[in-house]
Amino acid sequence: MGSKPQQRPENLGRKLRQIREALGFSQSEMSQHLAAEHSLQTARSRISEYESGAREPPLAILLAYGRVARVHVESLIDDEATLPDKIPGDFDFSRFKRSPT
C-alpha cells in the first residue's frame, strides 16, 4: 500500500488571515490568543508563515484558531467551505468534552 502526499488546502492561509483581521488582532496578538486558548507557544513569525502558506499549521493550532474564532475547523481546512459572515462565529464548543490538562 503506497501513500500519496496529502493535498494542502489552498485557501487555509487566506482564511487564517481573514480570521485574525476580523478579530482585529495583530499577528503578535493572535499568537497570544492561540497560546491562551490551547497552551501553545506560537511565534508571530509562525503566524505569518501560516497566513502566507509557507508553512502548514499543526492540528492543535487549527483547533485553537477554531476556538478563538468560534468556527468549526472544517470551515478552515475545506477549500469548498466558507467562513461565517461574522467572526467570532456562533459555533458552540461546549458540547465537546475536553480532557483536563
Q: How much is the pTM? A: 0.82
Whether omega before 100 lies within 30 degrees of 0, making that bond cis, reads: no
Domains of the chain: 12-91 (1.10.260.40)
Element (DSSP H or E) covering residue 66: helix 59-69
* Cα atoms in the Cβ-side hemisphere of radius 13 Å centred on 88: 12
Report the distance separating Cα 36 and Cα 68, nearest Å.
9
> In terms of pLDDT, which residue wins out, 16 or 43?
16
For residue range 42-90, list pLDDT tens digits in order: 778 899 999 999 999 999 899 999 999 999 999 999 999 999 999 988 8
pLDDT, mean of residues 17-23: 96
75 Cβ neighbours under 8 A, 6+ residues apart? 15, 81, 82, 83, 84
